[in-house]
Structure formats: C-alpha cells, structure tokens
Amino acid sequence: MAVDEGLKIELGKQGIFVTTIEELYNWGRRSSIWPMQFGLACCAIEMIATTMARYDLARFGAEVFRPSPRQADMMIISGTVTKKMAPQVVRLYNQMAEPKYVIAMGACAISGGPFKQGYNVLKGIDRYIPVDVHIPGCPPRPEALIHAFMTLQKKIDGQHLTGEGRPRHLDANAPGEFPVPVQGEHDLEPESNGLVWPLPAVKTGT
C-alpha cells in the first residue's frame, strides 16, 4: 500500500512527490492540534511560557488555545488535579470534539506527585480519561512540553486510518463517553474507570 521510502526519496529528487491519503490526512491532523485553554496549577505557568515567543508552540501549529472544548483537539492537564476538580476535567474532556488527545503534564497530573499521599488529590488523571503522553517533572520545562507535543505528533502520524489502532473517531466501537465521577462519602466514586485504568485499586490500612 505505502510507497517504499527509498523509492520515494529517489522520486523526490526527480521532482515527483508521492503521498497517500492517509499521510495527507495525518499531516493535516498533527499540524493543527488546538489545545484547550485550561490551566490547573503551577504547570500551567510553564504551559503559558511554552506558547509565548521564546518557546513558541506556534511552530507546531498549536498556538490557538481555544476557550471552548467544542473547538479543541487536545487537553493539556497542566497541574494538580484535586478530587474536587476531577469531575470537571472529565466532563470537559467528554465535551471535546473527536478526535481528542490528552497530555498529562507534570508529576501531579500523572501520579499525584508530591501530594500522592494526600487525601484530596487525584493520583493521576489517567484513572478516568485516556492519556496519550505523560510528562514527568515538577514542573516540566517548556522543552519537555514541546517534546511531549512532538511525541503526540509522532503518534498521530503513525496511526493507520483502518484496522487495529486506528484513531478513535474512525472506530465506531471506541467509547465516546467517559463516566464522570461523583463526590462520594470518602472519595470519588468510582475510584477509577476500568476502561482506561484496568489496575485494581490498592488496598491500604487493612
């Protein structure tokens, strides 16, 4: 199906450019990822710095931070997700248009970070929504966010439009709705979404 890479380069030298619909489609998708304007904690400051002139996220086609989830393709979970905030994050993710991607930025967003033993911080947003790229760091430098962004672009580039591993929006069976947790008596209920977090809950204190 795909043209051999060597042949492609040879043809390119002769002025003939060969591509596939899939490549064009993915090129368009990865070059116009619009993040949602959404900052949670101190990582958001680094995220803002990334978009400014010095680090210039606009080079990757992602400078248009949208103030509404309806127009956004990517959610950057930039900081600590408290248990009070988690339902809102999941609801916003649900309201985004397909295909949507998530970057969990910083130690808190991926695992709870320094607040992991705390009573009110979610131990990683990937318990409720599918995360595409995790960035460690407290907070991660703008270069790290740009690296995560390039990683996401590589992932989008590598997605085939048919068969296994195709993007969610082309897969009729892929879930579109992720249940929003509610505040229970002691914790969020449910504690995690089994679809994206298959690990069993760790029992402590028994």
Partner 1 sequence: MGPCRGDLAVRAANGSQNGMNGEKMGLDPPEWGKLLSQNMLRTGTLNQKDSIVKMASSPYFSLGVLFLVALGFGLTPLALAWLWAKAFSPAKPNAIKNAIYECGLVSKGDAWVQFHSAYYLYAIIFMIFDVEAVFLLPFSVAFTGLGASACVAMLVFVLLLIEGLAWAWVKGILTWA
Please report how close the Cβ of residue 129 comes to partner 1 at its closest, in angstroms.
12
| Terminal CA-CA length for the chain | 57
Q: What is the size of the binding site for partner 1 (CB under 8 A)?
A: 19
Cβ-based nearer residue to partner 1, 59 or 169: 169
11 binds partner 1 (CB under 8 A): no
Contact flags string 35-74 toward partner 1, x per CB under 8 A? ---------------------------------xxx----
CB closer to partner 1 out of 112 and 167:
167
By beta-carbon proximity to partner 1, the closer residue of 64 and 92 is: 92
Choose which of 42, 49, 92, 144 interacts with partner 1 (CB under 8 A).
92
* Beta carbons of 155 and 132 less than 8 angstroms apart: yes
Taking the complex as a whole, the smallest distance from the CB of residue 167 to partner 1 amounts, in Å, to 8
Contact between 170 and partner 1 per CB under 8 A: yes
User: Could you give the dihedral angle defined by the CA atoms of residues 127, 132, 138 and 140, in that order, rounded to the nearest 10 degrees?
Assistant: -170
- Give the separation between CA 169 and CA 74, rounded to whole angstroms: 14
Regarding 31 and contact with partner 1 (CB under 8 A), the answer is: no
For partner 1, the binding residues (CB under 8 A) are: 68-70, 87-89, 91-92, 94-95, 98-99, 168-170, 174, 176-177, 180
